[in-house]
């Protein structure tokens, strides 16, 4: 760390570069952003600035945004750039990097005094009757701290606080004394929240504006999400505002499941790998020290899925009791805590595949596939409905500095909205106590987030209640597939006028043939006619395939003709395969990757709902001319995640690899002298028939041979 101020020229250049990097053109402010700035002065920040600074500073997001909120809560271009320079100067001069701690100590010794930005935690020295601080990055321990600081900032005693501190160094005669002392201490997290002011400001926003404001606060562009997509994203905040809330979200990788739990709040912790011990999580019986549940509002287990993960059965048993009763034992003593549990994991199969062959919990470690444990989950968020994170999903609008919204959510843990639906609706079906607790806690959390003053319309209350019941029903339906001792019941509510709403999940509506609670209800050898019967109910069902019987043979596609497609050439011979391998050394350029994408789309159309085909590409690399080859292939693989096609690829480095062919596990070998490159260049665009239909394109002239290998 450089202990000297950076030069003004460097600061200006750096801030300008950051502005450009963050797409900051200082364009006219949008109406919503102006409203946000006026309603919450000093408590909001432009989110793209955080992202830009984050690349250059290993500082928690809530610390960065606190500084940005102090210096950059404006839409004035000049003030904004000046604020960026100030934040960069503060970080460059005062933030302590762990690997430069000794240099900073030396600076303090030489100067006698220096300001540092570090995280401080405080403990009481019970023998001496005074408080001692520990600096997380600087590495100083047992530094005396004034009782006044502790009284003013009690969070120093619970988990610690990021601060700007004046640290002094002076040699003392007592060898047991500390040469380090502190003169001033200023938290750089929100120290106080006026909840009544927050409610008053919320009242100036419509529901849509407020949802968009919250989406921007968690970093997303609300214009890229539907209303349901916004609710799914905001559901991730419920563990912060609802005590002892148990949420699971499973879905394809890359959807940002752990984004909100990584650095969104100083009151939450993300445990990577999902492997944790009983003493670390609950209590260490030998030291009598309480674990993570005693210190955090939300504990997120990232990468929770995975059959190969080692799980302690004792941990599962203690978690079951804690998730149900908020209590755990230390020997004969019962302890309680309020931490919410969040479980995030990746699924490898498509939704219809899981519905047909197993259940949504199939990817969890075996010890967690326990009906008693799963029944403690209050909600199952369908991660497959969340888009894969990409650059256009992020916002450059204004949102709360995360430490402020984190404190608001923490305050809301004292609120209770579980019965807020009862003046309008009543549960009309028999539900278990755990089912009712589950959807009521989800409902309560979303009410706190969206309507913290409780002033929601009947339609808005119904929307949240229905969504909350859906999330709990998803848990119940898939427990039924695991344990047939559980009783099945409907989720129905009705209004005082007598109209009823029966809640089902979207996947039950979309895949009615596979959505029965018992796996045996869907026979593995179901007839094709059954699949055809559900086509009207499933717009995404497979397209009908030609009834022609695949035969060995040879086809010549004349050059400069139309009417040819991958479907016409390959469908009959690929149908029924579960693994397809493409050998083509020339899938390198953009148009070749596009051909591959269209081939995979054709294969996708051949696969019946509930089934899956693995397609593997073997190709070669040409780094000199194909710098985006790997990026394109990875994007294709990501786009098919969770679909009926599981696409993978790798390189063959054999210089003699030239043959192009397709092989299947059903015994077919299809050789192609041009591979998938059978079409001439064509005009692309949103209104191009050639782009929409392969049959409208001119061909290059291709020969295809079909061989039966077994």
Confidence at residue 447, expressed as pLDDT on a 0 to 100 scale: 98
Find which of 133-137, 239-243, 269-273 is predicted with most confidence, using mean pLDDT. Answer: 239-243
Whether residue 59 lies inside any domain: the answer is yes
Using CA atoms, how far apart are residues 144 and 170, in angstroms rounded to an integer?
13
Cα separation, 666 vs 673, in Å, equals: 22
Q: What distances in angstroms separate CA 327 from CA 2, 293, 378, one per listed residue?
A: 49, 10, 17
The stretch 138-165 carries a mean pLDDT of 86
Q: State the DSSP H helix or E strand holding residue 195, giving kind and residue range, or none if neither.
A: helix 195-202
Residues 176 and 245 in one domain: no
Q: Which position has the higher pLDDT, 313 or 510? A: 313
Residue 346's Cα: distance from chain center in Å?
10
Instruction: Answer yes or no: do 258 and 356 share one domain.
Output: yes
Examine the domain organization and report whether 150 and 43 are in the same domain.
Answer: no
Residue range 69-121, pLDDT digits in tens: 777 777 778 888 888 888 888 888 888 888 889 999 999 999 999 999 998 99
- Please classify residue 623 by burial: count the beta carbons closer than 10 Å to its beta carbon, then call 0-12 exposed, 13-18 middle and 19+ buried: exposed
Total tally of structural domains belonging to the chain: 4
Pairing between β-strand 426-427 and β-strand 289-290 as defined by DSSP bridges: unpaired
Print burial letters for 419-438: b (CB count within 10 Å at least 16), e (below 16).
ebbeebbebbeebeeebebb
Task: Give the separation between CA 469 and CA 246, rounded to whole angstroms.
Answer: 14
Q: Residue 528: pLDDT above 80? A: no
Domain assignment present for residue 486? The answer is no
CA distance linking residue 113 with residue 153, whole number of Å: 23
The torsion angle over the Cα atoms of residues 325, 329, 335 and 340, rounded to 10 degrees, is -50
Burial environment of residue 625 by CB neighbours within 10 A (0 to 12, 13 to 18, 19 or more): exposed
- 3 state SS for 561-585: CCCCCHHHHHHHHHCCCCEEEEECC
Q: Torsion over CA of 315, 316, 318 and 319, rounded to 10 degrees? A: 110
With tokens 């309603």, the residue in question is 39
- Eight-class DSSP state of 296: -
Q: Would you say 248 and 381 are in contact if contact means Cβ atoms under 8 Å apart? A: yes
User: In the prediction, which pLDDT does 509 show?
Assistant: 83
**Per-residue pLDDT tens for 294-319?**
888 999 999 999 888 888 899 999 99
The pLDDT of residue 66 is 79
Query: Considering the domain boundaries, does residue 499 fall inside one?
Result: no
Give the H/E segment covering residue 9. Answer: helix 8-21
Strands (DSSP E) along 332-393, which ranges?
333-336, 340-346, 379-382
| pLDDT of 582 | 96
User: Does residue 32 sit within a domain?
Assistant: yes
Domain assignment present for residue 329? The answer is yes
pLDDT of residue 426: 94
| Pairing between β-strand 327-330 and β-strand 333-336 as defined by DSSP bridges | antiparallel
Looking at 187, 220, 241, the residue that finishes a domain is 187
- When pLDDT is cut at 50, 70 and 90, the band that residue 661 belongs to is very high
Query: Who has greater pLDDT, 539 or 380?
Result: 380
CA dihedral 656, 658, 661, 664 (to 10 degrees): 30
For the record, the structure tokens of 362 come out as 């199939």
- Please give the pLDDT value at position 403: 84
Cα 131 from chain centre: 40
Buried b vs exposed e over 685-707: b needs ≥16 C-beta within 10 Å?
A: eeeeebbeebeebebbebebebe
Determine, yes or no, domain membership for 175: yes
Structure tokens at 278: 């009983």
CB half-sphere exposure, 244, CA atoms < 13 A? 18
CATH number assigned to the domain comprising residue 571? 3.30.870.30
Same domain, 164 and 220: no
d(CA 668, CA 630): 28
- Domain boundary (94, 129, 150) is at 94
Task: Name the domain boundary from 157, 187, 217.
Answer: 187
Cα gap 677→488, rounded to integer Å: 53
Cβ atoms of 21 and 52 within 8 Å: the answer is yes
Q: 572 and 628: one domain? A: yes
On whether residue 423 sits in a domain, the answer given is no
Q: Which helix (H) or strand (E) holds 197?
A: helix 195-202
pLDDT of 518 reads 52
What pLDDT, on the 0 to 100 scale, is given for residue 460?
Answer: 97
Provide the whole-model pTM. Answer: 0.76
Is the pLDDT at 543 greater than 70, yes or no? no
pLDDT at 57: 61
Q: List, as own/partner pairs, every contact residues 33-40 make where C-beta atoms lie below 8 angstroms and the sequence separation is at least 24, other chains included.
A: 33/75, 33/397, 33/398, 34/75, 35/204, 35/205, 35/209, 36/213, 36/216, 36/397, 36/398, 36/399, 37/73, 37/74, 37/75, 37/398, 39/201, 39/204, 39/205, 40/201, 40/400, 40/404
CATH number, domain containing residue 148? 2.40.50
24 pLDDT exceeds 50?
no
Tell me which residue range forms the domain holding 673. Answer: 553-708
Say yes or no: 561 and 691 in one domain. yes
CA–CA distance, 571 with 568 (Å, rounded to integer): 6
Q: Are 28 and 125 found together in one domain?
A: no
| Averaged pLDDT of the chain | 85
Place of tokens 């400069």: 560
Q: Does residue 123 contact residue 182 with C-beta atoms inside 8 Å?
A: no
Contact 603, 574 (CB under 8 A): yes
Torsion-angle region of 242 (φ positive above 0: left; ψ -120 to 50: alpha; else: beta): beta
Q: Alpha-carbon distance 666 to 478, whole Å?
A: 33
Question: What contacts 494, CB < 8 A, 6 or more positions away?
Answer: 425, 426, 428, 500, 501
Same domain, 56 and 175: no
Range 410-435 average pLDDT:
94
Strands in 147-224 per DSSP E: 161-169, 180-187
DSSP state of 246: E
297 token code pair: 């509002």
Same-domain check for residues 270 and 373: yes
229 and 326 together in one domain: yes
Dist CA 640 CA 349 (whole Å):
11
Query: Token match 């990817």: residue?
Result: 363
- Do 323 and 220 fall into the same domain? yes
Separation of alpha carbons 205 and 5, rounded Å:
42
Supply the DSSP symbol for 429. Answer: S
Tens digits of per-residue pLDDT, 252-276? Answer: 888 888 888 887 888 888 888 657 8
Q: Is pLDDT at 217 greater than 80 in this prediction?
A: yes
Distances (CA, A) of 566 to 504, 542, 694: 38, 16, 8
pLDDT range class, residue 56, cuts 50, 70, 90: low
Question: Is the residue at 515 inside a domain?
Answer: no
Do 238 and 335 belong to one domain? yes
């Amino acid at each position: 760390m450089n202990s000297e101020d950076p030069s003004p020229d460097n600061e200006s250049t750096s801030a300008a570069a950051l502005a450009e990097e963050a797409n900051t053109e200082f364009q006219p402010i949008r109406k919503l952003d102006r409203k946000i700035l006026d309603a919450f002065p000093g408590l909001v920040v432009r989110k793209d600035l955080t992202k830009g600074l984050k690349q250059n500073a290993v500082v928690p997001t809530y610390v960065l945004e606190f500084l940005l909120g102090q210096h950059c809560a404006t839409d004035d271009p000049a003030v904004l750039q000046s604020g960026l320079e100030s934040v960069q100067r503060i970080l460059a001069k005062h933030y302590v990097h762990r690997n430069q701690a000794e240099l900073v100590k030396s600076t303090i010794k030489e100067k006698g005094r220096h300001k540092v930005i570090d995280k401080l935690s405080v403990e009481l020295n019970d023998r001496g009757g005074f408080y001692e601080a520990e600096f997380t990055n600087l590495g100083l321990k047992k530094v005396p701290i004034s009782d006044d600081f502790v009284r003013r900032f009690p969070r120093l005693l619970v988990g610690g606080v990021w601060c700007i501190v004046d640290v002094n160094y002076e040699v003392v005669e007592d060898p047991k004394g500390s040469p380090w002392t502190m003169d001033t201490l200023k938290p750089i997290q929100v120290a106080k929240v006026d909840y009544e002011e927050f409610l008053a400001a919320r009242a100036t926003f419509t529901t849509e504006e407020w949802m968009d404001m919250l989406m921007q606060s968690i970093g997303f562009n609300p214009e890229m999400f539907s209303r349901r997509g916004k609710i799914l994203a905001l559901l991730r905040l419920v563990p912060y505002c609802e005590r002892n809330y148990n949420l699971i979200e499973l879905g394809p990788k890359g959807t940002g499941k752990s984004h909100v739990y990584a650095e969104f709040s100083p009151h939450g912790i993300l445990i990577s790998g999902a492997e944790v011990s009983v003493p670390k999580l609950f209590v260490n019986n030998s030291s009598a020290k309480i674990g993570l549940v005693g210190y955090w509002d939300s504990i997120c287990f990232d990468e929770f899925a995975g059959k190969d993960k080692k799980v302690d059965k004792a941990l599962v048993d203690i978690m079951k009791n804690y998730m149900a009763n908020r209590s755990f034992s230390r020997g004969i003593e019962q302890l309680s805590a309020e931490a919410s549990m969040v479980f995030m994991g990746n699924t490898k199969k498509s939704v219809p595949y899981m519905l047909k062959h197993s259940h949504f919990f199939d990817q969890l470690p075996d010890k967690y596939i326990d009906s008693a444990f799963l029944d403690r989950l209050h909600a199952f968020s369908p991660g497959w409905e969340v888009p894969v994170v990409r650059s256009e999903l992020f916002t450059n609008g204004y949102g709360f500095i995360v430490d402020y919204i984190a404190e608001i959510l923490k305050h809301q843990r004292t609120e209770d909205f579980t019965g807020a639906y009862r003046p309008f609706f009543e549960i009309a079906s028999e539900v278990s106590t755990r089912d009712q607790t589950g959807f009521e806690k989800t409902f309560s959390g979303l009410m706190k987030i969206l309507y913290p003053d409780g002033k929601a319309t009947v339609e808005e209350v119904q929307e949240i209640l229905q969504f909350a019941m859906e999330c709990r029903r998803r848990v119940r339906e898939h427990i039924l597939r695991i344990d047939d001792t559980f009783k099945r019941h409907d989720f129905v509510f009705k209004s005082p006028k007598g109209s009823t709403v029966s809640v089902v999940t979207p996947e039950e509506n979309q895949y009615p043939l596979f959505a029965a609670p018992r796996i045996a209800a869907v026979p593995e050898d179901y007839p094709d006619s059954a699949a055809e019967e559900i086509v009207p109910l499933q717009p995404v069902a497979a397209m009908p395939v030609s009834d022609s019987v695949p035969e060995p043979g040879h086809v010549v596609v004349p050059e400069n003709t139309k009417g040819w497609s991958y479907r016409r050439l390959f469908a009959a011979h690929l149908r029924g395969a579960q693994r397809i391998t493409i050998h083509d050394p020339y899938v390198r350029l953009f148009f070749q990757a596009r051909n591959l994408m269209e081939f995979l789309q054709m294969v996708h159309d051949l696969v019946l709902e509930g089934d899956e085909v693995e397609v593997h590409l073997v190709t070669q690399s040409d780094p000199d001319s194909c710098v985006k080859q790997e990026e394109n292939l990875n994007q294709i693989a990501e786009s098919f995640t969770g679909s009926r096609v599981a696409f993978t690829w790798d390189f063959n480095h054999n210089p003699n690899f030239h043959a192009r062919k397709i092989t299947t596990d059903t015994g077919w070998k299809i050789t192609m002298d041009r591979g998938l490159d059978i079409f001439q260049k064509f005009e692309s665009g949103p209104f191009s028939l050639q782009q929409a239909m392969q049959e409208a394109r001119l061909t290059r002239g291709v020969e295809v041979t079909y061989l039966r290998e077994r």
